[in-house]
Amino acid sequence: MSILSERLAQYDAPQKAKALGVYPYFRPISSDQDTIVQINGKPVLMMGSNSYLGLTNHPRIKEGAIKATEKYGTGCAGSRFLNGTLDIHLELEERLAKLVGKEEAMVYATGFTVNSGVIPCLGGRQDYLYLDRLNHASIIEGSRLSMAKQFKYRHNDMEELEKFLQKAEPDKIKMIVSDGVFSMEGDVCNLPEMVKLAKKYNASIMIDEAHSLGFFGEHGAGVCEHFGLSDEVELVMGTFSKSLATIGGFVASNKDVINFLRHNSRTFIFSASITPAATGAVLAALDVMQEETWRPKQLWANTHRMLDAFRRIGFEIGHTTTPIIPLFVRDNEKTFRLTQMLLEDGIFVNPVVSPAVPSEDTLIRISLMATHTFDQIDEAVEKITKNAKLLGII
- 102, 155, 242, 334: the catalytic one is 242
Rounded Cα gap, residues 236 and 105, in angstroms: 9
Domain extents in the chain: 3-30+293-390, 59-291
pLDDT, tens only, 22-45? 999 999 999 999 999 999 999 999
Residues in the chain: 394
pLDDT, tens only, 173-191? 999 999 999 999 999 999 9
Q: Which amino acid type is present at position 254?
A: N
Residue 343 is predicted with a pLDDT of: 97
- 211, 226, 334, 372: the catalytic one is 211
- 183, 204, 265, 271: the catalytic one is 183
Rounded Cα gap, residues 78 and 85, in angstroms: 9
Q: Find, among 106, 102, 89, 96, the residue nearest to 251 by Cα.
A: 106
Half-sphere CA count of 113, side-chain side, radius 13 A: 20
Residue 360 is predicted with a pLDDT of: 85
Task: Record the pTM.
Answer: 0.96
Question: Quick one: average pLDDT of 137-162?
Answer: 97
Question: Quick one: average pLDDT of 94-113?
Answer: 98
pLDDT, tens only, 227-250? 999 999 999 999 999 999 999 999
3-30+293-390 belongs to which homologous superfamily? Aspartate Aminotransferase, domain 1 (3.90.1150.10)
Residue 356 is predicted with a pLDDT of: 72
Residue 121 is predicted with a pLDDT of: 98
- Calculate Rg over the CA atoms of the chain: 21
Rounded Cα gap, residues 41 and 163, in angstroms: 55
Over 80: is that where the pLDDT of 376 sits?
A: yes
**Which CATH architecture fits 59-291?**
3-Layer(aba) Sandwich (3.40)
Mean pLDDT of the chain: 97
- Asked if 278 and 246 touch (Cβ cutoff 8 Å), the reply is yes
Percent of the chain with pLDDT strictly greater than 70: 100
Q: Is 242 a catalytic residue?
A: yes
Question: Quick one: average pLDDT of 318-347?
Answer: 96
Rounded Cα gap, residues 287 and 35, in angstroms: 22
Strands across the sheet containing 324-328 = 324-328, 363-367, 350-352
Residue 359 is predicted with a pLDDT of: 78
Residue 143 is predicted with a pLDDT of: 98
Question: Quick one: average pLDDT of 204-214?
Answer: 98
Q: Find, among 152, 162, 148, the residue nearest to 118 by Cα.
A: 148
Q: Find, among 358, 362, 137, 360, the residue nearest to 349 by Cα.
A: 362
Over 80: is that where the pLDDT of 355 sits?
A: no
Taking phi over 0 as left and psi of -120 to 50 as alpha, with beta for the rest, 54 belongs to left
Both ends of the chain: CA-CA distance in Å?
Answer: 47
